[in-house]
Amino acid sequence: MAVRYSYLRQQFGDCPELWEELKSFVLTGDFTLGAPLKEFEEGFAKLIGTKHAVGVNSGTDAIKLSLKALDVGQGDEIITAANTFVATVGAICEIGATPVFVDCNENFCMDVGIVESVINERTKAIVPVHFTGYMTRMDKLLSIAEKYSLPIIEDACQSILAELHGRQAGTWGISGAFSLHPLKNINVWSDGGVIVTDSDKLDSKLRLLRNHGLVDRDHVKILGYNSRLDTFQAVVGNWILPQARQISNQRIKNATYLDERLGKISQISIPHRPSDMRIVFHLYSVLAHERDALLEFCIKRGVEAKIHYPIPIYKQEALVPFVGNRRFEKTDFLARNSISFPCDQHLTMRELDEIVETVQDFYAT
Ligand SMILES: *Cc1c(COP(=O)(O)O)cnc(C)c1O
């Protein structure tokens, strides 16, 4: 029995009511910064529990525009996680700033205990990444940021509805960045992103930045970007937003089941699941003996496991100018030993069991 990784065809294959919504939307011609976008932004802010939400054209731009709004630029250093997806680093570099990496802990996220040692007079902001669905230790990071008066922009692209001490990802920093990319937990049919913030000032500036700095049709107040969330995608967003809680609940349920069963296999090690954290499992990653051989075995059996990511971003060719020969031990360890299995809301019990049995069979041979 095959277990696919992508569930997009299941998710969007049979949604006649969404097609009806899209059809009537097209007839309005309200394509740019239209009414459904405003509705989506209000719904998103409500879901996360912030005062504002600003729709932009990707999660990458959600980070980039947040940095830009804080006047970060050439020569500024931004502290971020060595263990992340390329987008975090791309956003920092695109505005001319320099990424300064911090190794992760066993929960895939920035080891907050190291942060103070890399702060200097050039440091302008901290961008923690809530990786795989875990959360960075924001309580500790917040007190460091306050001590040095540094703003925090949370990369929450993989962790929508994750919580630490009951407080959601994206609500700790001056702003939080989310992605609506098709492969993210809350997704639309193309690229999309959202910035959340409680600051009125930041909200106004972000709205200018995403729309060429236009105050109105004829007046440009600051130079900005073309980075609006498509109103068409906002219609899709409005359809999926009411399902957000249920989607994360089901992922947590599936992960709990896999933890319990895979945890009985001695060659598999389940990462610590802290009880003060709500982990939303954008990725379900565990540590495995003979990881590469297990991956190959799973693929052969039709169980579509993946590695996130085989080469850490900081080791990529493009990052050599910033990193040189520095190595980040924990990040490297996870890149060598972790494997991700499907964990999404559309999996059946039978498919979850097939994942477990495939792993069992590999170690039994
Ligand atoms: C997906 C992702 C982003 C950016 O998302 P896009 O919407 O694809 O631009 C940023 N950071 C992390 C950690 C991500 O996983």
pLDDT in tens, 329-339: 999 999 999 99
State residue 316's pLDDT score.
94
Chain mean pLDDT for the chain: 97
**Is pTM, for the whole model, over 0.75?**
yes
Residue whose Cα lies nearest atom 2 of ligand 1: it is 157
* Span 20-37, average pLDDT: 98
- Residue 1, pLDDT above cutoff 90: no
- End-to-end CA, the chain: 19
Please, are residues 93 and 60 in contact by the beta-carbon 8 Å criterion?
no
How sure is the predictor about 304, in pLDDT bands with cuts at 50, 70 and 90? Answer: very high
State residue 111's pLDDT score.
98
**Start and end residues for every CATH 3.90.1150.10 domain found in the chain:** 244-364
Alpha helices in the chain (DSSP H): 8-12, 16-28, 35-48, 59-69, 86-94, 112-115, 138-147, 200-209, 231-240, 244-262, 291-301, 320-323, 329-337, 349-364
- 305 C-alpha to ligand 1 centroid (Å): 20
Ligand 1 lined by 64 (C-beta under 6 Å): no
Distance CA(92)–CA(71), nearest Å, equals 12
- Nearest residue to 339 (alpha-carbon basis) of 299, 293, 308, 298: 308
Strand 277-278 with 163-164, pairing: antiparallel
- Work out the percent of the chain whose per-residue pLDDT is above 70: 100
State residue 324's pLDDT score.
87
Distance CA(233)–CA(238), nearest Å, equals 9
Ligand 1 lined by 82 (C-beta under 6 Å): no
Dig out the tokens for 298 from the structure: 């799973």
Q: In the chain, what are the helix, strand and coil shares in percent, each to the nearest 5?
A: 45, 20, 40
* Span 44-56, average pLDDT: 98
**Start and end residues for every CATH 3.40.640.10 domain found in the chain:** 15-242
* Span 65-79, average pLDDT: 97
CATH level 2 (architecture), domain 15-242: 3-Layer(aba) Sandwich (3.40)
Q: Which of 89, 181, 233 to mutate to test the pocket of ligand 1 (most atoms within 8 A of CB)?
A: 181
3-state class (DSSP) for residue 250: helix
* Span 104-110, average pLDDT: 97
Atom of ligand 1 at shortest distance to CA of 131? 13
Residue 137: count of CB within 10 angstroms of its CB? 21
- Work out the percent of the chain whose per-residue pLDDT is above 90: 99
CATH class of the domain at 244-364: alpha beta
- 156 C-alpha to ligand 1 centroid (Å): 9
Residue whose Cα lies nearest atom 13 of ligand 1: it is 85
Structure confidence by residue, pLDDT tens digits, 181-208: 999 999 999 999 999 999 999 999 999 9
How sure is the predictor about 365, in pLDDT bands with cuts at 50, 70 and 90? Answer: confident
* Span 248-277, average pLDDT: 98
Ligand 1 lined by 157 (C-beta under 6 Å): yes
- 192 C-alpha to ligand 1 centroid (Å): 10
